[in-house]
């Protein structure tokens, strides 16, 4: 008995095909960009204009609206990197490999932003651009992990082997995430303790919490937009010589 080509499974498999993902990502991108822009507009206006000044830190605390979302994203993206790496190792999924490789530079950018904005906040508040406290140091190590992953994957010629080596590094580095998160509880740190991500009511004013969450959402949509765009590039590059890409290209120029 021959396989019915239009079974559920066959249709599902085709959804995962490169041209389908390419077209789907392209269709979603304009909407995700608009939502991202709207969230940034709302978050920035609420955070910079509407929210009150802090009674201790004055207006300088407003760096929180870019510092905290960047830091959250630096960790979220690393989880995606490690998760996609694990999936690519266990199930050999090409898409998982692509997601992992595409995520690393983006995660590195968020980590750099967390460190840079934190430094600009630390100087007026703590009097220091940098301290080797547990939170800052473990976030810096996160940046090194991202850069190390990118360097390792770039250093190995065979694409498959490179992805697998990188995947192992990414998975091993996951231990850093709970260290970053709990650093302010386990050690005596200059960096302040948890105010939002804890098993209790957030100890931040609602008028400041809402713009913070809006900006967190904006950053998440930014990551989504970037990933959709990068996955499209990855697919185009690895499928350069296929007929569907050829058709796509000639269709556009006609």
Cβ distance to other proteins smaller for residue 116 or 151:
116
- Provide the minimum distance between the beta carbon of 115 and other proteins in the complex, in angstroms, as a whole number: 11
Binding site for other proteins (CB under 8 A): 33, 48-49, 53, 58-60, 62-63, 66-67, 70, 105-106, 109, 112-113, 116-117, 120-121, 123-124, 222, 225-226, 229-230, 232-233, 236-237, 240, 245-246, 248-250, 252-253
User: Residue-wise over 100-114: b if at least 16 C-beta within 10 A, else e?
Assistant: bbbbbebbbbbbebb
Cβ distance to other proteins smaller for residue 67 or 89:
67
Cβ distance to other proteins smaller for residue 112 or 182:
112
- Give the 3-state secondary structure of residue 168: helix
Cβ distance to other proteins smaller for residue 28 or 233:
233
- Give the 3-state secondary structure of residue 58: strand
- Provide the minimum distance between the beta carbon of 123 and other proteins in the complex, in angstroms, as a whole number: 6
- Provide the minimum distance between the beta carbon of 178 and other proteins in the complex, in angstroms, as a whole number: 26
- Contact status, residue 103 vs residue 77, Cβ threshold 8 Å: yes
Distance between CA atoms of 85 and 79, rounded to whole angstroms? Answer: 10
- Provide the minimum distance between the beta carbon of 175 and other proteins in the complex, in angstroms, as a whole number: 27
Joined together, the tokens standing for residue 150 give 């990118």
- Provide the minimum distance between the beta carbon of 242 and other proteins in the complex, in angstroms, as a whole number: 11
User: Residue-wise over 57-80: b if at least 16 C-beta within 10 A, else e?
Assistant: eeeebbbbbbbbbbbbbbbbbbeb
């Amino acid at each position: 008995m021959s396989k019915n080509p239009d079974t559920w499974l066959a249709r599902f498999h085709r959804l995962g095909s490169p041209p389908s993902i390419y077209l789907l990502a392209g269709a979603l991108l304009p909407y995700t960009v608009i939502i991202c822009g709207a969230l940034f507009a709302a978050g920035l206006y609420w955070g910079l204009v509407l929210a009150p000044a802090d009674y201790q830190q004055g207006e300088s605390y407003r760096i929180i609206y870019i510092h905290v979302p960047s830091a959250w994203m630096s960790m979220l993206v690393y989880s995606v990197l490690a998760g996609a790496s694990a999936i690519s190792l266990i199930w050999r999924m090409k898409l998982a490999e692509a997601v992992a490789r595409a995520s690393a530079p983006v995660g590195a950018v968020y980590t750099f932003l967390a460190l840079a904005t934190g430094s600009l906040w630390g100087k007026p508040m703590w009097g220091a651009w940098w301290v080797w406290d547990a939170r800052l140091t473990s976030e810096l190590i996160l940046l090194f992990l991202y850069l190390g992953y990118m360097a390792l994957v770039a250093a190995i010629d065979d694409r498959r082997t490179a992805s697998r080596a990188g995947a192992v590094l990414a998975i091993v580095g996951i231990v850093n995430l709970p260290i970053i998160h709990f650093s302010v509880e386990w050690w005596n740190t200059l960096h302040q303790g948890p105010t939002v991500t804890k098993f209790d009511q957030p100890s931040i004013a609602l008028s400041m919490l809402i713009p913070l969450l809006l900006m967190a959402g904006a950053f998440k949509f930014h990551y989504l937009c970037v990933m959709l765009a990068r996955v499209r590039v990855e697919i185009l590059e690895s499928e350069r010589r296929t007929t569907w890409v050829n058709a796509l290209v000639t269709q556009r120029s006609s």
